[in-house]
Amino acid sequence: MNPRLALASLILAAVAAPAMAGYEFLQEVSVTPTSAQGSVSGARRAADAVQYIYCTSSAVLSGAVSGTCNARDKFGNTRSCSTTVPAMIDAIQSIDDSSFVLFQVNGSGQCSSISVYRGSPYMDP
């Protein structure tokens, strides 16, 4: 093999490798009549200024805890739910910038499930 061609190939591989390193899954927010999902970073990095997905939790002096999840997609469709289930509150409190959130809503607006997936694919680069 031509030494110059080999050197050029090696340099190209070294420069291109970092750009291809790591899997990214920055999904925009998706809303259906019974659920919403999306990555926190994907919503933040969306080309529009419309999307969001987040959950909050609160506690009062009596010890009662509650949580809500809210989402809006790029079309302006919204979905929300609320919960007082301790395991769901734990899931809400685990959400951070590297989270993908999926929540499902029953007919009365209560959260029927909250799933949080965290890891490098969901992080803002």
The number of beta carbons lying within 10 Å of the beta carbon of residue 42 is 21
- More confident call, 124 vs 63: 63
> Higher confidence at residue 1 or residue 111?
111
Of residues 55 and 120, the one with the higher pLDDT is: 55
pTM of the complete model: 0.76
In a domain, 81, yes or no: yes
6-37 pLDDT tens trace: 434 434 344 343 443 455 556 899 999 999 99
Report the sign of the C-alpha dihedral through residues 89, 56, 43, 26, in that order.
negative
Cα distance between residue 39 and residue 37, in whole Å: 7
* pLDDT of 52 above 70: yes
Residue 107 forms part of a structural domain? yes
User: Is 107 in a helix, a strand, or coil?
Assistant: coil
Range of the domain at 31: 23-122
Residue 84's φ and ψ, nearest 5 degrees, are: -125, 10
Pairing type for strands 65-72 and 78-83 reads: antiparallel
Q: Quick one: pLDDT at residue 68?
A: 98
Tell me how long the chain is: 125
Q: What is the pLDDT of residue 85?
A: 97
Q: Choose between 117 and 20: higher pLDDT.
A: 117
Alpha-carbon gap, residue 78 to 80, rounded angstroms: 7
State how many domains the chain has. Answer: 1
| Cβ atoms of 105 and 79 closer than 8 Å | yes
- Establish if 49 belongs to a structural domain: yes
Give the pLDDT confidence of 55-77 residue by residue, as tens digits.
999 999 999 999 999 999 999 99
Within-domain flag for 18: no
Q: DSSP label at 79?
A: E
